[in-house]
Amino acid sequence: MKISFEIPMTKKEIGKYSLNKFYSTNIHWTKRKEIADYFHSLVQCTLYANKVPRFPFKGSVKVTIYYNSDLDIDGHGVISKLIVDAMKGYLINDDTRKYFVNLEQEFWEGNGIRVVIEEKNLSKYVRGWAIWNQLCKQKKKHVTYVKAEQQKNIIVYMVQLIGSCQKNTD
């Protein structure tokens, strides 16, 4: 499933929330809270106006946020955080690793900010790791942590191995 929506903001408005401005100035916590509350209201009003259903995602998500502004790509960090925080409890369960697997920032030529949320089906990988952990416990081995590309190869191998084991027991 994929959901997208656009937040109406001008380039000048987006520029006010630059990571560089937040980093270089000492903003009082009450002002930061005021900005967070503004973004939460803006995002949730946009979701409501676009008739986006509440809690459509049950699994992990990938979020891509497209900006049309004069900021550098890494200058949008504060806005990205505020948008993600505003979606918690509405579109996504939480922004922890369990529910949130990827955040990307890109430029686009449209107006304002475009947010795209895609559900990632990781259940087969979770099942694979559960089986892997059981195998390691049975053989008294330690689970080693490997890179993401290697994890996929291991899981594919495990699925093939489990499939061949099942054929042998039939």
Mean pLDDT of 46-55: 88
What's the pLDDT score for residue 122? 55
- What is the pLDDT confidence band of residue 21, given thresholds at 50, 70 and 90? confident
> For the domain 2-120, what is the CATH code?
3.30.1330
- 127-154 pLDDT, tens digit per residue, is 455 555 555 555 444 444 444 555 555 6
What's the pLDDT score for residue 166? 46
CB 157 within 8 A of CB 128: no
What's the pLDDT score for residue 82? 95
Starting at the earlier edge strand, list the strands of the sheet with 100-107: 2-7, 113-120, 60-67, 100-107
pTM, full prediction: 0.69
Name the segment(s) of the chain with CATH classification 3.30.1330. Answer: 2-120
- 60-114 pLDDT, tens digit per residue, is 899 999 999 999 999 999 999 999 999 998 888 888 888 888 999 999 999 999 9
- What is the pLDDT confidence band of residue 168, given thresholds at 50, 70 and 90? very low
**What do you get for the CA distance between the two ends of the chain, in Å?**
37
Share of the chain above pLDDT 70, in %: 71
Q: Kindly state the DSSP code that residue 164 receives in the 8-state scheme.
A: H
Determine the Cα–Cα distance for residues 27 and 67; give it in Å rounded to an integer. Answer: 24
Determine the Cα–Cα distance for residues 13 and 26; give it in Å rounded to an integer. Answer: 20
What's the pLDDT score for residue 57? 83
What does residue 136 show for φ and ψ, rounded to 5 degrees?
A: -65, -40
